[in-house]
Amino acid sequence: MPRLRSETASGSRVARNSSSPPPTPKLNRLIVLIGAATLGVCTSWVHPSKTGDGGTDWFEDVAPEAGIHFRHFNGMSGEYYFCEMMGPGGALLDYDNDGDLDVYLVQGQLLGPDKTIDDALFPPPEEPPLRDRLFRNDLKSNPDGTPDLRFTDVTAQSGIVSLGYGMGVAAGDIDNDGWVDLYVTNFGKNQMYRNNGNGTFSEVPAGDGADTAWSVSASFLDYDRDGWLDLFVGNYVDYRLSNPKRCYSSTGAIDYCGPRSYPAQANRFYRNRGDGSFQDVSSQTGVATRHGGALGVVSADFNGDGWIDFYVANDQRPNHLWMNQKNGSFREEALVAGCALNRDGKTEASMGVDAGDLDNDGDEDLFMTHLIRETNTLYLNNGRGWFEDQTFESELGVASMPYTGFGTAFLDYDNDGWLDILSLHGEVATIEALEKLRDPYPLHQPNQLFRNLGNGSFEEVTRQGGAVFQLSEVSRGGAFGDVDNDGDVDVLIVNNNGPARLLINNVGTRRHWLGLRLLGQDIPRDMLGARVEVVFPDGLTLLRRVRTDGSYGSANDPRVLVGLGNRNRVAAVRVSWPGGGVEEWSDLPIDRYSTLRAGSGRTVSRNE
Amino acid sequence: MSDSTKLLNRFRAGALCLIGLGVLPIPVIGESAPVPHSNVPLRPIPHPDLSRLEPAARQRIRDTRAGLESMAKAEKAGPEELSPAYGEMGKLYHVQDFLGAAEACYLNAESLAPTDFRWPYYLGHIYKNKGDLEQSIAAYQRAMEHQPENVPAILGAAEGHLSLNRYDRAQPLFERALALDEDCAPALVGMGKIASSRRDAKEAIRNFEAALALQPEANSIHYLLAMSYRRQGDLDRAETHFQQVAMLERLRRGHATAGYPDPMMEALDDLTTGWRHHWVRGMRAFGKGRFEEAVKEYRTSVALDPKNPVPLTDLGSALARTGDLRGAAREYAQALRVSPGNPMLHYYLGTTLMGLQSEEEAARHYQRAIGANPGFMEAHFQLANLLMRLRRYDQAIPHYTSVVELDSGFGGRAPAGSPGGGQIRQMSILAHFMRAMALVQLSRHEEALTGLEKALEVFPGHPDMTHAVARLLAASPDPKIRNGMRALQLLGPLLQSPGGIDLEYVETLAMALAETGRYERAAQLQRDMISDLQRNRRFDLAMLLNENLALYQSRQPCRSPWREDDPIFTPVASAMDLPGPTTGSPP
């Protein structure tokens, strides 16, 4: 686990950690750099919940100690503006290509005509104008090999001037120069920032039409296999501050409006022309024909035909599954595919979403977060892009009913080879119990962590997650990735009207892992959409994919991190590239990151 | 807000909020001290923040609470008086969604009167809403001890067990509900879900179909059936139900889930105040088909909150059901002023204006509905039909095309051998067909034929489209597409229908025979048809057939597949248009 530079702020934790017996040899970035293949790693490790784990929290928030000082300002002034409780998101991205993940955090602004900062119910964290923040990860290794995690706020020198009312962010290399670019979604005009490759960004037009709708989540995907990342932008509802409605809770009390109070906004699909510009192809792709108030989006090949599809989580309207027709268009098939509505045929208030192979059967399943009194919903894929709601069967249903979920991910936090689930919570309407306590922002709720038991069901392990899971906040965006490069997945949580938190994983590296970065042959960018099959000597195959999308208004680590469980060898890694073609690599080293470049593996046929 | 309050709020915002509020050493502001009563320990009742409630609701709660507290202080009050007082207080909190306060009240009421069914029953609902299913089931079970034959309580416990995957405990409860009321749709749905979990698709379908027969508007049951048929591989039936779900969802019509009368919960609704009180009563009346009563309730609701589009919209819909279309249009227009640009309101208004013969104005509203929601299939369809009636065929075509394209989102699978089913599929079929008819009116016969043939790939063997193709092949003025022999081949199966032969098919047969040079047969068929029609005193139709008879007798083929005034070019508005009530928020 990382040792923090500012130890005075967390002395007790450092002392406790240093007194705990080392559970396993720590595999760290230094070892990665020198290219050690495998070490004498203990393979008989037992799940911490079964051992008591010596009091070590599975996750620890290190944001302030590591230098991430960020507090979201939602600009609320008692007017119940709809957008004030919907943001923000954040991103984990390596903008400076130094091998570690940096942090981008989306900020709000004061809302409302004729309002001054004195009208704000909560003070801004700094003098306005507020702006999104970029924190550079200056990860180093301590003499004992443990990562030394430290961030520096580089917003001022980055060239990013994001002064809109921010909602979310997407990350992808739009010009194939190997430097990741950013797309910031706003309540207002969205912004595209091109990475100049020198630590700075320049704002560029996002498309051939000014997209001023209220957007939250966006996804970069190469839908036409031309090698350039295209962009889907999910738009929410036609809400404007100039035309606010009076809305009520179910009891008649004044409250925030819901999405059904406003017409849903049309989504946008932009095709990357390959010359630095984007063309709005929403109509040509068919995407313009249906919209339902999009909040989450995730792209994956849901029917295994080798072409990237995408799924849109809509708020209180049926969700959409856009299947790639391989001719430049998509067809919306969610209803027939069984993932538009829940098992009772009801629409749900979908917010965050993720796709992943939850049951290790070789296809992409779906999970999405919902409103309080609904359940979060798990759809299992039958391999052909048809889904079954297995929420209750998996034990994920009842446990999620008291919460309103936003950011979420399939993450194998304990590297046991089974994807677990983290869901981030915070209500959208007043919580009676908090209001009773005169809570100034009575929407906060604790987050939840679920462990995949590998038998189709989950157990809630929130308590074991640590003190950070005892917090009750209004969490929205969540970004997932290996921030300290130690081989397990860490979590960036972005809270509405609260601090950003960086949760460092203390348990994942107790098992073996395989880290992969997938780059194009002539294109030095992360090949979003690539499917990775990790084949073990016993024949078990795990499916993962390269992505930055999913969750809620956030962007994830594009690298693929695969927990190996009790195995200590990988027989082969097979990659299906998003442009077509399948390649295989054998005997890749474990417990370190390897870079796989298209064209450098053994070509295999799809059926091999 | 005063400066000191704001400062306090800011201070609190900076503090970490921990879960487990009950164990925090923070005093519960305004909480009443426990009220001792003889030997029954009573819980303190929290004071929820009433500031955001409507004044009438706020006052009612305050008055009731004052009465309760004064009764509790007067030591003379016995459990028989205090229990219902706590219960009534609980109901007021319950209906305002103050679940914590309601829970405490009901628990006290139950402690004071342990044999009263009502309080554990309401507690069952409270815990279910809080997501605490174990407590919910326990409360329903306590209620059932007092009223073992209360079906809503049995259903509450059964559905709780079902959500917790305890099928063996849910099943006997559903069976008990069905034994008490064989028409209990939620119990049938529950039994279907249990069968489904056991992979017994046949039994699941049997139960779901039985439930659907009881509540055909419940889109939830359509969905369960669709998924069950899909699991069985019966994609045609699956699609039929998927289409129904899509349509009900789009039009927000009907009950989402299978329902069962619950007088106890309905009594709670009566405790609502202000606009919502009357709106709920209006919805209930609407659901029972008592539209005059619904109008009255909605009017009162609108008077209490004139800028709320929800009761305005429903008032319009109720008026439409009473036949007062002018009144309906007026209310929809007002709702649009409150909620401008709302596509569903434009659609409703357009449909109402159609009924008032204000076709141009209706078209404008359909267009606005489409402008706001390009995927609004029903609006495209109704606008296209309207444009057909206005003889603006070229303008109708793109809207029929939109319906066809939007429908392709269902997977484009043909319901081979099935009747099609579902209003959306019917709409799509009609859109294919009517687009072809619009092209015929524009003399674009080749395009019409191509479109119909493509549609037949999606709906193979569809009789109306097959017949339209045959007629174009038999009688189109465009020589490039005429093919009498193929027309005869296509007509073959249509003419062997066991349910009787459509007169139009025979007319087309005569056209095809003439096209292939068999004029005598064509003329004989025509004469036979005319005789039949005359025998049935349909002299109007018989006269129309004389035109082609004259052609065939003079050994000339027919070169006009449809007469220009054929009613086929003037679609009538379908019955799907009357709006239902909204479900709690503006449409």
pLDDT tens digits, one per residue of A147-157:
999 999 999 99
B163 touches chain A (CB under 8 A): yes
Nearest neighbour of A435 by CB, restricted to B49, B131, B239: B49
pLDDT of residue A14: 26
Does B489 map to a domain?
Answer: yes
B480 lies in some domain: yes
B219 lies in some domain: no
The encoded tokens of residue B102 equal 């309601």
Q: Can you tell me the ipTM of this complex?
A: 0.83
The answer to whether residue B486 sits within a structural domain is yes
Per-residue buried b or exposed e for A335-345, using 16+ beta carbons within 10 Å of the residue's own CB: bbbbbbbbbbb
- Across the range A100-125, mean pLDDT stands at 92
DSSP per residue, B346-413: HHHHHHHHHHTT-HHHHHHHHHHHHHH-TT-HHHHHHHHHHHHHTT-HHHHHHHHHHHHHHHGGGT--
pLDDT cut 90: percent of chain A above it: 72
Q: Which two tokens stand for residue B431?
A: 């859109």
CA distances, B492 to each of A343, B501, B532 (Å): 45, 11, 21
On whether the CB atoms of residues B193 and B167 are closer than 8 A, the answer is no
Residues of B in contact with A258 (CB under 8 A): 585
Other C-beta atoms closer than 10 Å to the C-beta of B359 total 15
Total number of domains constituting chain B:
1
What percent of chain A is predicted at pLDDT more than 70? Answer: 87
pLDDT confidence bin for A60, thresholds 50/70/90: very high
**pLDDT tops 70 at residue A246:** no
Mean pLDDT of A5-10: 29
pTM, rounded to two decimals: 0.76
| A243 contacts on B by Cβ (under 8 Å) | 340
Tokens of B319: 């008026």
CA dihedral A37, A40, A44, A50 (to 10 degrees): -90
DSSP state of A127: S
Average pLDDT score over residue span A404-429: 96
Domain membership flag for residue B282: no
Residue type, A526: D
Regions of chain B with pLDDT less than 70: 1-39, 249-256, 407-425, 497-500, 573-587
pLDDT of residue B584: 42
Mapping DSSP to helix (H, G, I), strand (E, B) and coil, where does residue A600 land? coil
Interval A327-334 mean pLDDT: 94
Instruction: Tell me whether A123 touches chain B (CB under 8 Å).
Output: yes
Sort out which chain B residues have CB atoms less than 8 A from A331's CB and list them. Answer: 408-409, 411-412
What is the domain range of residue B480? Answer: 464-569
Residue B556 within any structural domain of the chain: yes
Q: Which of residues 493-532 of A touch B (CB under 8 A)?
A: 497
Tell whether A161 is within 8 A of chain B (Cβ).
no
Nearest to B220 among A252, A345, A433 (CB): A345
Q: Does A159 touch chain B (CB under 8 A)?
A: no
CB contact under 8 A, B274 and A252: yes
pLDDT at A304 over 60: yes
Residues of B in contact with A121 (CB under 8 A): 1, 6, 9
Asked whether the beta carbons of residue B54 and residue A435 sit closer than 8 angstroms, the reply is: no
Tens-digit pLDDT profile for residues A163-184? 899 999 999 999 999 999 999 9
Question: How much is the pLDDT for B278?
Answer: 85
CA A62 – CA A49 distance, rounded (Å): 22
> Any chain A CB within 8 A of the CB of B23?
no
Distance from CA of A440 to the nearest CA of B (A): 5
| Cβ-based contacts of B9 with chain A (< 8 Å) | 121-122, 440
Cβ within 8 Å of residue B549, ≥6 positions away:
B523, B526, B527, B530
* B401 residue type, one letter: T
Chain A residues within an 8 Å CB radius of B586: 245, 260-261
Burial class from Cβ neighbours inside 10 Å (0-12, 13-18, 19+) for residue A50 reads exposed
Of A123, A252, A347, the CB nearest to B249: A347
Which of B163, B220, B239 has the CB atom closest to A346's CB atom? B220
Most confident of A285-289, A332-336, B354-358: A332-336
Is residue A207 within 8 Å of A278, Cβ to Cβ? yes
3-state secondary structure of A377: strand
pLDDT at residue A505, as a whole number: 97
Geometric angle at alpha carbon B171, from B166 and B176, rounded to 5°? 140
pLDDT at A28: 31
Read off the pLDDT of each residue in A298-304 and give the average, rounded to a whole number.
Answer: 97
In a domain, B525, yes or no: yes
- Residue A359: pLDDT above 50? yes
Does the pLDDT value for residue A39 go beyond 90?
no
Q: Is B19 on the interface with A (CB under 8 A)?
A: yes
Q: Does residue B287 form part of some domain?
A: no
Half-sphere exposure of A575 (CA within 13 A, CB side): 28
Q: Is the pLDDT of residue A219 over 50?
A: yes
Q: Tell me, what's the pLDDT at A1?
A: 41
